[in-house]
Amino acid sequence: MAVLWITVVVVLFDQATKLMVKGSPWHWLPLEGLPYGHSQPFIDDIFRITYIENPGIAFGINIPGFKVVFAVFSIVASVAILIYLKRNLYRLRLGERIALALILGGAVGNLIDRVFYGVIYHEQPLFYGRVVDFIDFGIHRNMFPVFNVADSCVTIGVTLLVILLMRHKQAEPAVTGNSASSEPESTTQEHIALPS
């Protein structure tokens, strides 16, 4: 499935950006990262790199006591998308495959944080890691919750999928109408041919 290369690129880029922000836990990869809570202007004061960590779902949303639930849900959702892609590869249109690959990449990217980051950084047990967020938009203040590359890809993938499904729904009545209008004509031709 060539479309899964999109998923691989999303996961690699997501994890690379998080390592640059959080810093590397390995001596052989000297990345210092940013101090926790540090906010650095990137484009004037509209786009900032703000390092925070989210123990919840996405975009800073957190429900206390549900860390393991979020991690397990992410695993189930990722496996479900992968199976669906494999089973419906030739039935899905290209845009739908790309959208699902983006969603899968984003889900896996944040899943790595939740499941492994606590252990890798010697902070929490397995499944208790926190998701690294750093993309911060807003003029002089947060316009949106701070998010990351994985969140962006999930959002883009879901939006693309909804648009494609809506366009497909709108195209269906036109096809049905054309087939219905052509039916009486063929019936008429049959009736005309019968007396001869």
Q: What is the dihedral of CA 95, 98, 104, 107, to 10 degrees?
A: -80
Active site residue 151: yes
Q: Of 14, 113, 133, 136, which one is the catalytic site residue?
A: 133
Distance (Å, whole) CA 162 – CA 154: 12
Instruction: Give the type of residue at 145.
Output: P
User: What is the residue whose two structure tokens read 């860390």?
Assistant: 67
DSSP β-ladder status, 39-43 and 131-137 = unpaired
Active site residue 44: no
Dihedral sign for Cα atoms in the order 81, 87, 88, 89: positive
Beta strands in 44-97 (DSSP E): 47-54
Q: Of 14, 113, 136, 151, which one is the catalytic site residue?
A: 151
DSSP H or E segment with residue 133: strand 131-137
Q: List Cα–Cα distances, 188 to 117, 163, 184, 193, in angstroms.
A: 71, 40, 6, 9
Q: Which residues pair with 54 in a beta bridge?
A: 131
Active site residues: 133, 151
